[in-house]
Amino acid sequence: MNSWVLFYTTISRVVEMRYEVTPEDAAWMLSLSSMPEAVSITPLQGGWDNTIVLLRLANGDEVVLKAWSSNSVEEVKRVISRHVHLHAYEIPTTVPISLDSGSLFAEKEEVAWTLLPYVSGGMLGKDCGSLRSLGEVMAKMHGIPCSEFFPEDYRMGFKLFEKVLEISKEKGIEDPFLDLLEKENSALLNAYPTRMPMGVLHGDLFPDNVLGKDGVVSAILDLEEAWIGPMIFDLMMAFVGFGWEEGKPQSNRWKSLVEGYQTVRVISEEELSELQLMHRYATLAIACWRFWKHNISVPDENLSLRHLEMVDRMGVDIDFKGYI
């Protein structure tokens, strides 16, 4: 079978591809980097918006092609700069491969494209060793210098809450979650601490955003939600992403995250007093994003109740401080 036929046959099997990556797209992008042609393409897990695929090249090498169809070109520039910033301070991440022009991305039809090194190993596990590694890497990231490329507002936080409430009112959307969101938004705003240790945060530390192998973090991915905020928030978001199993919080995972984190940076007393609040904020942020994504932005009946997983968690009391 011709390599391009194989290439196209593989991609045609991708279910619900967010943005179709054609053989011509791949050939165009590879030509900008003087790389050999691709002989196959495989969709990769990760994210809900942009398309990422694995290209196997004629010389046996593998690279990742990403089409940033859900981000403006200017936003992609900022996100790439964030990855470069982390890499400069030895935080494991993926920086786009430089093209022949010296640029880290190419633009076609108002969509930014990048070629990224392929990191083997898959998503980071949820075992204790992996979570200790994640805690350590997270603490190191929190300690690097801030940069102009990181905003001071959390894109999935209070601004999104207000946006969802406003749009829902305009469109006449009624749902019990909106009542909860309005109530929790007000309560969190009133209780939100104004003076906390701040640092560079990832903002969305879920398994599909962290690569790992043999219990060690290989790369932190997808910095679209990264921001400058309270360091303890990121730790709580990581627990939201990694710390639950079948609707129940796993105390050993929390303990492992904290153990790894505190090998680099000790959590202060003022931060300890806000663990519950920050966990609630992080949980609501994910619930709100899911409701917005699957009920407003891109309605999908099959995913329309996905936010309820997080809503259910908000009714569970957890003694975070007791495990530190």
Query: For the segment 128-156, what is each residue's pLDDT rounded down to a tens digit?
Result: 999 999 999 999 999 999 999 999 999 99
Tell me, yes or no, whether 66 and 39 share the same domain: yes
Same domain, 68 and 210: no
Q: Which of 90, 117, 144 is the last residue of a domain?
A: 117
The pLDDT, as a whole number, for residue 270 is 96
pTM for this model (two decimals): 0.91
47 band by pLDDT with thresholds 50, 70 and 90: low
What domain range is 37 assigned to?
A: 3-117
pLDDT at 5: 37
Domain CATH code at residue 194? 3.90.1200.10
Q: What is the pLDDT of residue 39?
A: 96
Do 233 and 85 sit in the same domain of this protein? no
> Is 266 within the bounds of a domain?
yes
Task: Supply 254's token pair.
Answer: 């929390």
Question: Given pLDDT bands bounded at 50, 70 and 90, which one contains residue 315?
Answer: very high
Contacts of 116 by beta carbon, 8 Å cutoff, 6+ apart: 63, 64, 65, 66, 94, 95, 96, 97
Same domain membership, residue 21 and residue 141: no
> What number is the average pLDDT over the span 40-59?
86
pLDDT given for residue 14 in this prediction? 35
Across residues 291-303, what is the average pLDDT?
Answer: 96
**187-234 residue pLDDT tens:** 999 999 989 999 999 999 999 999 999 999 999 999 999 999 999 999
Residue 9 predicted with pLDDT over 50: no
pLDDT of residue 16: 43
In sequence order, what DSSP letters do the residues of 29-92 get, joined into one string? Answer: HHHTTTPPPEEEEEE----SSSEEEEEEETTS-EEEEEEETTS-HHHHHHHHHHHHHHHHTT--
Binned at pLDDT 50, 70 and 90, residue 176 comes out as very high
- Do 154 and 260 fall into the same domain? yes
Report if residue 186 sits inside a domain. yes
In a domain, 22, yes or no: yes
| pLDDT, position 48 | 64
Both 184 and 273 in one domain: the answer is yes
For residues 191 and 318, state if they share a domain.
Answer: yes
pLDDT of residue 49: 77
CATH number at 76 reads: 3.30.200.20
Specify whether 86 is located in the same domain as 156. no
- Any domain includes 315: yes
| 122 domain-assigned | no
Residues 17 and 140 reside in one and the same domain: no
Q: Total structural domains in the chain?
A: 2
Of the three residues 117, 142, 160, the one that is the final residue of a domain is 117
Same domain as 234, residue 196: yes
Q: Tell me the average pLDDT across 41-55.
A: 82
Do residue 95 and residue 60 come from a single domain? yes
Q: Within a domain: residue 123?
A: no
Q: Are residues 269 and 308 in the same domain?
A: yes
Indicate whether 193 belongs to any domain.
yes
- Whether 283 maps to a domain, the answer reads yes
Per-residue pLDDT reduced to its tens digit, 65-100: 999 998 999 999 999 999 999 999 999 999 999 999
End residue of a domain, out of 117, 148, 169: 117
Distance CA 52, CA 11 (A): 11
Phi, psi of 266 (to 5 degrees): -80, 130
Report the mean per-residue pLDDT for the chain: 93
User: Could you give the maximum distance between any two Cα atoms of the chain, in Å?
Assistant: 64
Quote the pLDDT of residue 256.
98
pLDDT of residue 13: 32
